[in-house]
Amino acid sequence: MKLDLLIKNANEIITVKGASHIPKTGKAFQEISIVKGNIGIKYGRILNVDNYNYKAKQVIDATGKVVMPGFIDCHTHLVHAGSRHYEYEGKCSGKSYSDIDKKGGILYTVEQTRKASIEDLVEKGLKDLDIMLSHGTTTVEIKTGYGLDQENEIKMLYAINELQKKHPMTIIPTYLGAHKVPPEYENNRQGYIKLVKDLILTIKKENLAEYCDVFCDKIGFTYKESKEILEEAKRHGMKLKVHAEQTNYNRGAELAAKLGAVSADHLDYISKKGIEDMKASGTIGVLLPGVTYHLTEMIPGHKKVKKFLPKKIRRMIENELPIALSTDYNPGSCRTQSMQAIMEIAARLYRMNYAEIINASTINAAHAIGRSNEIGSIEFGKKADLVIYDCEEHGILIDKFGINLAKIVIKNGKIINLY
Ligand code: NIG
Ligand code: FE
């Protein structure tokens, strides 16, 4: 038998195996399996992980290198127009996210995104996806939420679906019509909620999105409004996600659990009950440390300094809540497309250990988008989405920071030409 591709002599193959059916928690979350040797690839799939030198059409020598599953970035707002870099100085000098939001924030991006054509969004999106791929991400979830009317939410979904046709990255589209009430509905919230709900039907009919997400927050939607929208999405067979407890405690985690959402994301102000409910319902907690870092939320002097976060995250882990990590890449609250950066920040700010961080960025993130049978680990039959890093041991990836160690990215068994 001749393989299509053989990666040989890797110093460490981080397989993350054994958790395709249930996300890793407890003892399993503290372990990653490490193998020294070869990976055989055929028909875009992983055939074997061993030490045998099968014949292959193409061979990569990975001596002294680390091989990991491609990252799964399970929460992003990658499609958007414009930049808010001018705001950033204000954030750094201590203004809170809610303050900034009143003066532009998400709504500024909505203005810019409404003005952009599908082609503009696709052109920018392709560039962002290239950066992600070259930093080791091979699957990404992308949300709408900067259109906030029928025409522009659908435009965003068309752009997301177009990106999937044009780029090797695997993309999971999410409808986030309930990101913010747009200015034209400021005095008619119920009118906007009706619009968000009506659009679900069109989206389902045209199969434009797999998930429905809601920003359940004092600067987004109330518990009751979020529930109404998510229940409608569920009725139409969409899978659910919730932006929960980001800037305040709003029972978003409890709501996600109650409705059987696949994930609840952010969770800075999650309650004890929120943790218990999510655990019981199997809802995954997606943590976004890039937001904490970018918004300077742990630095004394910040209006609402979140010094409690490491303890809270430890409580979630100790209570065996399944945890995933993601960038939340967007124009406001997190500006990196690199999951390597997120791993580095998770260690420094959230005090997570290497095994926890890697499990949360690969297999548990695959669970957070319902793809754990296909990706997220290096095991027989899974897609050959693999990244070879230019370092001898996986810990170096997290210990170093601010650089890109991804050397070779393999997507569906094919070597990607990095830009
Ligand atoms: O996940 N929280 C709401 N939405 C995004 C931020 C979007 C933006 O600032 O443009 C988030 O942090
Ligand atoms: Fe987000």
- What would the DSSP string read from start to end of 220-251? SB-HHHHHHHHHHHHHTT-EEEEEESSSS--S
CB of 243 closer than 6 angstroms to any ligand 1 atom: yes
Q: How confident is the model at residue 97 (pLDDT cuts 50, 70, 90)?
A: low
- Of the listed ligands, the closest to the CA of 219 is 1
Domains of the chain from N-terminus onward: 3-69+375-415 (2.30.40.10), 71-367 (3.20.20.140)
Report the pLDDT averaged over residues 392-407: 98
CB-CB neighbours of 293 under 10 Å: 22
Ligand 1 atom at minimum distance from 331 CA: 10
Nearest CA to ligand 1 atom 1: 328
Q: What is the pLDDT of residue 99?
A: 64
- Can you give the pTM of this predicted structure? 0.97
Whole-angstrom distance, CA of residue 76 vs CA of residue 170: 13
Ligand 1 atom at minimum distance from 328 CA: 1
User: Which uninterrupted H or E stretch holds 390?
Assistant: none
**C-alpha distance across the termini of the chain, in Å:** 33
Instruction: Count the residues in the chain.
Output: 419
Q: What is the DSSP secondary structure assignment for residue 63, as one 8-state letter?
A: B
- pLDDT above 80 (res 101): no
- pLDDT above 90 (res 1): no
Q: Which residues are near ligand 2, the ion (C-beta closer than 5 Å)?
A: 328
Edge-to-edge order in the sheet of strand 71-73: 71-73, 137-143, 170-178, 211-216, 239-244, 263-266, 284-287, 323-325
Distance 105 CA to ligand 2 centre (A): 13
Q: What is the pLDDT of residue 82?
A: 95
- Of the listed ligands, the closest to the CA of 290 is 1
Q: Which residues contact 45 (CB under 8 A, 6 or more apart)?
A: 381, 382, 383, 384, 413
Mapped onto helix, strand or coil, the DSSP state of residue 41 is: strand
Buried-state track 46-82, b at ≥16 Cβ within 10 A, e below 16: bbbbeeeebebeebbebeebbbbbbbbbbbbbbbbbb
Report the pLDDT averaged over residues 128-142: 98
Q: What is the pLDDT of residue 96?
A: 66
Q: What is the pLDDT of residue 233?
A: 98
CB of 101 closer than 6 angstroms to any ligand 1 atom: no
Which pairing describes strands 34-42 and 45-50: parallel, antiparallel, or unpaired? antiparallel
Mapped onto helix, strand or coil, the DSSP state of residue 396 is: helix
Distance 332 CA to ligand 1 centre (A): 6
Whole-angstrom distance, CA of residue 179 vs CA of residue 109: 12
- pLDDT above 90 (res 87): no
Our mutation pick for probing the ligand 1 site, out of 80, 106, 146, 326, counting the most ligand atoms within 8 A of Cβ, is 106
Whole-angstrom distance, CA of residue 140 vs CA of residue 153: 19
Q: What is the pLDDT of residue 89?
A: 82
Q: What is the pLDDT of residues 182-210, one digit of tens each?
A: 999 999 999 999 999 999 999 999 999 99
Q: How confident is the model at residue 92 (pLDDT cuts 50, 70, 90)?
A: confident
Choose among 288, 372, 373: nearest CA to 324: 288
- pLDDT above 80 (res 98): no
Q: How confident is the model at residue 304 (pLDDT cuts 50, 70, 90)?
A: confident
CB of 339 closer than 6 angstroms to any ligand 1 atom: no
- pLDDT above 90 (res 316): yes
Nearest CA to ligand 1 atom 8: 332
- pLDDT above 80 (res 91): no
Helices (H) and strands (E) in the chain, counts: 16, 16
Whole-angstrom distance, CA of residue 44 vs CA of residue 49: 15
Report the share of the chain in percent with pLDDT over 90: 92
Helices 309-318 and 272-281, axial angle in degrees (round to 10): 40
Distance 223 CA to ligand 1 centre (A): 18
Report the share of the chain in percent with pLDDT over 70: 97
Amino acid identity of residue 24, one-letter, is K
Buried-state track 245-264, b at ≥16 Cβ within 10 A, e below 16: bbbebbbbbbbbbbbebbbb
Q: What is the pLDDT of residues 24-43, one digit of tens each?
A: 999 999 999 999 999 999 99
CB-CB neighbours of 203 under 10 Å: 22
- Of the listed ligands, the closest to the CA of 333 is 1
Q: What is the pLDDT of residue 100?
A: 60
The rounded radius of gyration (Å) of the Cα atoms in the chain is 21
**Residue 264 to residues 203, 256, 258, 282, 284, Cα–Cα distance (Å):** 22, 6, 11, 11, 6
Q: What is the pLDDT of residue 90?
A: 77
Q: What is the pLDDT of residues 235-276, one digit of tens each?
A: 999 999 999 999 999 999 999 999 999 999 999 999 999 999
Choose among 265, 322, 407: nearest CA to 26: 322
Q: What is the pLDDT of residues 140-166, one digit of tens each?
A: 999 999 999 999 999 999 999 999 999
Find the largest Cα–Cα distance for the chain.
68
Distance 170 CA to ligand 2 centre (A): 19
Whole-angstrom distance, CA of residue 247 vs CA of residue 182: 19
Task: Take residue 410 and report the two structure tokens written for it.
Answer: 């393999």
- pLDDT above 70 (res 80): yes
